[in-house]
Amino acid sequence: MTIHTPVPAATDPIHGHALDRVFRDARTHNGWLDQPVPEALVREAVELAKIGPTSANVSPMRIVLVTSPEAKARLKPALAEGNVAKTMSAPITAIVGYDLKFYDQLPKLFPHADARAWFVGNEAFANDTAYKNGTLQVAYFLMALRAVGLDTGPLTGFDNAKVDAEFFPGGNVKSNVIVNIGYGDAAKLFPRSPRLSFEEIVQVV
């Protein structure tokens, strides 16, 4: 006899403070309080982010946590001018990349099918899958960091080739988004920019 474990229905929505923390009150920070970030919180955020869905559980996200002055100095030449100060002052900077050879992990991550064979020899498909799902995981990571009580400052203004050469020298991992992490200085926030309305975003057919 097969025993099926019931999956609870998603009928208990998140309310109030949780939604404020992750979405409504969360901001992209440009300045940081002089307060250290426990690595355990970043670890918790990664553990949460990795649960989010990806195609066939490909999970291509790879992260380098830049924390030391020496590592920050290696990163600095790759940053756009407007991103230097905010990144150098952040307690932790995460370089979030995606692994083009993610499929080598699929025997472990997707063991019920030979998913690796779908990608081997099909470089365009593999690269597209890595980029799309890696970007999806960046979003999960941002939400998870906010959920554990941290503030974030994601940015894409940097020289990917320089970052890859310095921090992903093997060639299989490509940088995607840099995320500054810490406790944000609210005094340095800009007013929130407008957002499109539901009607401008959504077409119901």
Q: What is the pLDDT along the chain (205 residues), one digit of tens a residue?
A: 666 766 666 678 888 899 999 999 999 999 999 999 999 999 999 999 999 999 999 999 999 999 999 999 999 999 999 999 999 999 999 999 999 999 999 999 999 999 999 999 999 999 999 999 999 999 999 999 999 999 999 999 999 999 999 999 999 999 999 999 999 999 999 999 999 999 999 999 9
**Would you list the DSSP string of 144-205?**
HHHHTT-EEEEE--B-HHHHHHHH-TTSSEEEEEEEEEE-B-GGGPPPPPP---HHHH----
* The CATH fold of domain 39-184: NADH Oxidase (3.40.109)
Residues 6+ apart with CB under 8 A from 197: none
Residues 6+ apart with CB under 8 A from 121: none
Give the residue extent of every domain in the chain: 39-184
Q: What is the pTM of this model?
A: 0.92
CB 166 within 8 A of CB 1: no
CA separation for the pair 187, 141 (Å, rounded): 25
